[in-house]
Chains A and B, each alone.
Chain A
Amino acid sequence: MFWKYWITTPVSLYDIPGLEHWLEEQANAGLFPIQVTGDFTRFRRDEHAPGTRFRLEVSNGRELAEPERLELYCQSGWEYAGRVGKVYFLFYTADPRAPELHTDPVTRGISLEWLTGRVQRARKKQRILHFLILGLFILAGVLLWRMDPRRIPLFLFDLTGTPLIFLLLGFLFWRDEERDCHLLLDLQRSLELGVTPKTRPRPRWSLHAIPFWITIPLAGLAVVLWTGQLFGLYDLPPNAPLEHFSRPYIHLQDLESEPLVTYKELFGEPPRKHSGSSWGQNIVTRKFSFLSPSYYTVEQSLLSPVDLESKQGYSPSGEPEYVYSPDLEAVYFHLLVPPLARTIAMSQLAQLELMNLRWSYEELSHPELDFVVVARAENHPEWQMAAAGRDGHVVALLYGGRENLTDHLDMLAAALK
């Protein structure tokens, strides 16, 4: 019984000399191909067969090699080994005296015409599709732009980095495909001019070199990661108390000009929890994202230690009828791609916005920061947001309280050290 091996096909099917050469290398190592596709090649363990030559012949759309062709090739010492993808027949010979299949470069070029025609038609269709997708993106962008100009690029630049990864992968696949198509078209053009092109070195890195089976666990991992992110499964430890958190963050009390206390300090018990609300709790949540593998959000709220009995409730604006109760929700992250810091910070502010308010943004400057942006809610001065960044370290926060954030830019800078 033969041992069977599955190996990723590291060469594009459009790189005819490259694929033939690779199959010959495998034959030298004792592996004979029994199934070749663009993704993988199945080999059987055979005796080492140095000097074995493999040649790919274009199938011209036929499923089976023509009997006449088989006869001619067989008489010259070439055996049929099977189909490669849907476009080639594979022939081989171990006989060093067997003549080359093609002895005339121009005729060899003619034999590739069907394949190059098919590739060019496919490229045209793909280009139309790419332009359609691009057009849809532009149209969607224009529509969104009319709705809210500041948000247009932001949906592409959220902290997860997922759209960026898709864009990068899309670009890599497109680049590889273009390179392979050019390889084939250049080969055919040269041959028809009577020139046998020199064998090009294999590119140092190509998507073809990635073992195909890696895509299975990777796809599974991506699904798990993205699902986990969606449902906050990686927010570990979930809602940890802030007292034991050592990484830098802005203390809400430091922002305030009067002494305030926590809910627990005031009432001696944790706040009553409402579904979906963390009001009254001072907690940190560690998170994971592709662009910033370890980032965290800190939520704080404090209360004024006044007589609650005479008040109607809690409010960040601190009107006389309410207990003054400022909130601070902030996200801190260190980006792996620092040039994206400002864009992603703006995206975070967009996510922190209270949707029922209108916001106006102001760009400020600070000697220790690369950028500072402060936003205020129109007709609601108690709500403010700020984003600041330095060397890829970013903080974006939503503040509800009496203080003016522009007076505390030093504190933002200190939190990014």
Chain B
Amino acid sequence: MAGREKGPLTEPMYYVLMSFLRRERCGTEITGFVEEKTQGRVKLGPGTLYTLLAKFQEEGLIAETGVDGRKRTYRITDKGLAVFQEELERLRACVTDGEEERQ
């Protein structure tokens, strides 16, 4: 995987990256997006979110775009997009494999 050497993305990682696909977001907006998108299925604790933002930034998957007081906003980078795309394809393959076996 381009961004993570330690294996596939976990669900919170996947949805956090997904949240940046359409626009820049700050932490609170990311939490809201994940809550809404998954209808509360995926919980995103503040510790998990903060750790992911720092880790993704360190790995170059997202970049900071602005600071407003305590609030920071981020956007996804090309590398981040590639990682997301790769994970999406992996998940698609998983779903396809599962469906095939079920029929």
Contacts and interface: CB of A to CB of B under 8 A. Distances in A.
A104 B12 contact: yes
A73 B51 contact: no
Contact of A71 (B27, B43, B48, B55): B27
Contacts of A106: 10, 13
B47 A101 contact: yes
Nearest to B45: A103
Interface string B1-23: 00000100011110000000000
A107 B51 contact: yes
Contacts of A182: none
A211 interface: no
Given A68-B27, A71-B27, A107-B12, A102 B72 contact: no
Contacts of B53: 68
A194 interface: yes
Interface in A99-115: 99-104, 106-108, 110-111
Mostly helix, strand, loop or mixed at chain A's interface?
helix
Contacts, number: 75
B45 A101 contact: yes
Contacts of B72: 68
Interface string A103-130: 1101110110000000000000000000
A138 interface: no
A255 to B, nearest CB: 79
Interface string A69-83: 111110110100000
Given A75-B28, A103-B12, A107-B12, A68 B50 contact: yes
A76 B35 CA distance: 13
Given A107-B12, A192-B6, A102 B70 contact: no
A107 B11 CA distance: 10
A75 B71 CA distance: 12
B20 to A, nearest CB: 16
Nearest to B51: A111
Contacts of B45: 76, 99-104
Interface string B66-86: 000111100000000000000
B11 to A, nearest CB: 7
B63 interface: no
Contacts of B61: none
Interface residues of A, number: 25
Given A70-B70, A103-B12, A192-B6, A110 B55 contact: yes
Interface string B21-34: 00000011000000
Contacts of B12: 103-104, 107
B44 interface: yes
B27 A99 contact: no
Contacts of B11: 104
A104 B28 contact: no
B45 to A, nearest CB: 4
B46 interface: yes
Interface string A45-77: 000000000010100000000011111110110
A108 B48 contact: yes
A192 to B, nearest CB: 7
A62 B72 CA distance: 18
Interface of B: 6, 10-13, 27-28, 42-53, 55, 69-72
15 contacts: A68-B53, A68-B72, A72-B46, A75-B46, A76-B45, A76-B46, A78-B46, A99-B46, A102-B48, A103-B43, A104-B13, A106-B13, A107-B52, A108-B47, A108-B48
The 6 tightest CB contacts between A and B, nearest first, are: A101-B47, A71-B70, A103-B45, A67-B70, A72-B46, A111-B51
Given A71-B71, A110-B55, 18 more contacts: A69-B46, A71-B70, A72-B28, A73-B47, A99-B43, A99-B44, A100-B47, A101-B48, A104-B13, A104-B48, A106-B10, A106-B13, A107-B13, A107-B51, A107-B52, A107-B55, A110-B51, A111-B51
